[in-house]
Amino acid sequence: MIETLYGPGGIALVLDSGQIFPDDPGQGTPAIVEYDHDERTYTSTFWAALGEGELLDKRGEPYDLSARQHNWLLAQESAVSEFLNRHGG
């Protein structure tokens, strides 16, 4: 099951239960942040985006999250936790 939450400035938080591996919690990427800008797609895990405040494109070029985007992600921590708990993560 995939759930997508949309935030300010065009960022999206994609929650994917198919990426939850209860026997190996470090294996999957159940919470990904995505942003399309200037014909590039920037991504990061939810936790890295919170910690680093940036997303990377496939070449490793960064996109710095705005304060509004970062604050919105912080506000999604409970939604991510609830999703993981609901799906065995």
Span 25-39, pLDDT tens digits: 788 999 999 999 989
Q: Is the pTM of this model over 0.95?
A: no
Reported as a pLDDT band with limits 50, 70 and 90, residue 22 is: confident
Angle at 56 between CA 61 and CA 84, to 5 degrees: 175
**pLDDT digits over 38-73, tens only?**
899 999 999 999 999 999 999 999 999 999 999 999
* Distances in whole angstroms, Cα of residue 73 to Cα of each of 22, 39, 44, 55, 58: 24, 23, 12, 12, 22
Domain ranges of the chain: 2-80
